[in-house]
Amino acid sequence: MKDIIRAKCLISSDIEALINQQIKKEAHSSAIYLAMASWCNQNGFDFSSDYFFKQAEEERMHQLKFYKYVLDMGGSAISPDITNVKQEYNSFREVFEEALDQEISVTQSIKNIAARCYKEQDFVTLEFLNWFFKEQREEEYKARRALELFDVIGEEGTGRWEIDKHVNKISYQEA
Amino acid sequence: MQKTKSQISLPTARFDEVFSTEKGAIYQSDEEVCWYVDFAGKLAKFDYRNLLKLQKAVYKIDIENLLLSSDKSPDLEIIFICACDHCYVLSLIEIISLKELLQGAFVMLELNHIIFDRLHRLVG
């Protein structure tokens, strides 16, 4: 009896399900960043708004990268429903705290896929995930540095204006 | 004159039984690259995508909820798969049987995959 399923699809159904979950997570992230961009814009933080617009685009790009991988491997990629996007924030700082949480949660979720890949000895997907691990180093670094600006500069007086100006300048130099 | 065994032309399509229960069976056809599901009085052909869709449709039925539901509607489920010629209208008992059949079949297909990997792909 031929192994038809393997001939049709390189990844297992479990890995496919996990990546589809990740596709949803990236799409959700992108939507959250868009909401953050809107909040910052409405509250006069123009540079931060631009920063979050860029982040939203990046997350969307990550989503598509996962999406295309599933299809290229012969699996079925699922276009996700996105609900539950927080639109309102209590403070400028809260936006950045949640942005960091979001990135940490994405990193953990990709680590979870990698753990499953090791279990199944799916080295093909593991190699694909490496790009994302490298990307997450940068994403978490940027989110952490942005949040640190609140402590370094302080929010008093023109502090928030100063923080906003610096957010867009954060860049990651690879180790 | 009586035909010898070698002269009789037999149908070439060959089925391998993947899994069977008392209620039905699933066969694989290597030539046609598909599966035949013998269940609820019919033999239905499913290709790779549709077999996965059938699995998904059956697995997502909340059997416990149907068992506990006290409303008067008949416990029938319609399993309809987009772009597939077949449709099942099944009672709760049949759904449980079909789920058992599919679960068994997918375990056997996974086992077949492992055997292929270990015996043919690595050794051959």
Task: Sort out which chain A residues have CB atoms less than 8 A from B33's CB and list them.
Answer: 2, 4
Task: Say whether A2 and B113 touch across the interface (CB within 8 A).
Answer: no
Distance separating alpha carbons of residues A124 and A72, to the nearest angstrom: 12
Over chain A (175 residues), the average pLDDT of each successive run of 10 is 91 95 98 98 97 97 98 96 96 97 97 97 96 96 96 94 94 86
Domains, chain A, in order of start with CATH, read: 10-167 (1.20.1260.10)
What number of C-beta contacts closer than 8 Å exist between A and B? 27
| pLDDT of the residue at B2 | 53
- DSSP labels, B15-37: EEEEEE-SS-EEEEETTTTEEEE
| Contact across the interface for B48 and A8, Cβ inside 8 Å | yes
- Per the rule left: phi > 0, alpha: psi between -120 and 50, beta: everything else, A167 is alpha
Three-state SS letters, B33-60: CEEEEEECCEEEEECHHHHHHHHHHHHC
**Full 3-state SS string of A128-152:** HHHHHHHHHHHHHHHHHHHHHHHHH
The shortest C-alpha distance from A107 to chain B (Å) reads 29
CB contact under 8 A, B109 and A76: no
Q: State which residue of chain B sits closest to A12, comparing Cα positions.
A: B110
Confidence at residue B69, expressed as pLDDT on a 0 to 100 scale: 82
For B10-28, how does the pLDDT look when each residue is reduced to its tens digit (9 = 90+)? 556 788 999 999 999 999 9
Identify the closest residue of chain A to B16 by CA–CA distance. Answer: A1
CA separation for the pair B82, B59 (Å, rounded): 16
Determine the distance from the C-alpha atom of residue A46 to the mean position of all C-alpha atoms in its chain, rounded to a whole number. Answer: 21
Paired with B43 in beta bridges are B38
Task: Give the global pTM.
Answer: 0.87
Report which residue type is found at B3. Answer: K
Opening angle at CA A165, ends A162 and A171, nearest 5: 120
Distance (Å, whole) CA A22 – CA A66: 8
For each of chain B's 124 residues, which pLDDT tens digit applies?
A: 455 555 666 556 788 999 999 999 999 999 999 999 999 999 999 999 999 999 999 999 998 888 888 887 777 889 988 888 889 999 999 999 999 999 999 999 999 999 988 888 777 5
- Cα→Cα distances B96→A125, B23, B50, Å: 35, 10, 19
- Note the pLDDT of residue B124: 59
Residue ranges covered by each domain of chain B: 13-121
Residues 6+ apart with CB under 8 A from A160: A45, A92
Residue B8: the pLDDT is 61
DSSP helix/strand/coil, B120: helix
